[in-house]
Amino acid sequence: MLRLSRIGKTYQLGDEALPALVDVDLHVPRNAFVALTGASGSGKSTLMNILGCLDTPTCGHYALDGEATDGLNDDQLARVRNRKIGFVFQNFHLMPRMTAWANVAQPLVYRGVAPARRRQRAEEALDRVGLGHRIHHKPSELSGGQRQRVAIARALVGEPPLLLADEPTGNLDSKTAAEIMSVLAGLHAQGMTLVIVTHEPDIAAQCHRVVRLHDGRIVDDTAQRQASAEGARAAMRSTDIVQ
């Protein structure tokens, strides 16, 4: 699904070159459930931006779903993002004056999907995350967990093969965070490929693989035989929350 070979990213600050990623090799197969972890400044957010085609590496090779991204211009990268990647952010990034279904439908506008079909697919995506009864509510009328589920539905509406989540539980209390992880576990069980950036060990423990970065390098890549006890409980709850 994702294949990175000797990826490097360097930022130029005046006369000083600041390496953010150094010789990163990473292969993420289809239907993986991966956590990217590391301290602040470790490079995990830079790596997430490259995985999401929001930024380009200084050197190296990145292929997404078998398609090389090297040399693509901004418009071409935007088309790759729209077709193949769903994004979930810590701060939700919902339009405050739009209803839940309108927020979810927004990515389909850029695909030229007809309005009636946009509405139908948005409602189906909201049903998928357990919010079919909140389609007419605006973000201010929803809890933090509900807003994050709207954001997940928006990421799903285009049926991308890859979901990238940047600190998806960072603004949530522990109970709501468990609910969101249940939703993500349910999506993985349905066949999605998920990559999550998190600094929270208990969240990383619920993923099937943990990749840890330090000073721009991958220093550990561990496949977890099974999730933690909390992760197992979250997976068991996923059927009730997602369906």
Q: pLDDT of 51-106, one tens digit each?
A: 999 999 999 999 999 899 988 999 999 989 988 999 999 889 999 999 999 999 99
The per-residue pLDDT for range 187-243, each reduced to its tens digit, is: 999 999 999 999 999 999 999 999 999 999 999 999 986 554 444 444 444 434 444
Kindly report, residue by residue over 14-59, the tens digit of the pLDDT.
Answer: 889 999 999 999 999 999 999 999 999 999 999 999 999 999 999 9
Is the Cβ–Cβ distance between 86 and 162 less than 8 Å? yes
| pLDDT > 70 fraction of the chain, expressed in percent and rounded | 92
pLDDT of residue 176: 92
Beta strand pairing call for 33-37 and 85-89: unpaired
Beta-carbon contacts of 8 under 8 Å, excluding residues fewer than 6 positions away, are 19, 21, 22, 23, 24, 57, 58, 59, 60
Give the predicted TM-score (pTM) of the model. Answer: 0.88
pLDDT of residue 71: 86
Place of tokens 């468990």: 178
Give pLDDT, residue 13. 87
**Domains of the chain: which residue ranges?**
2-226
Classify domain 2-226 at the CATH superfamily level: P-loop containing nucleotide triphosphate hydrolases (3.40.50.300)
CB distance 241 to 183 below 8 Å = yes
Classify residue 209 by its DSSP letter: E
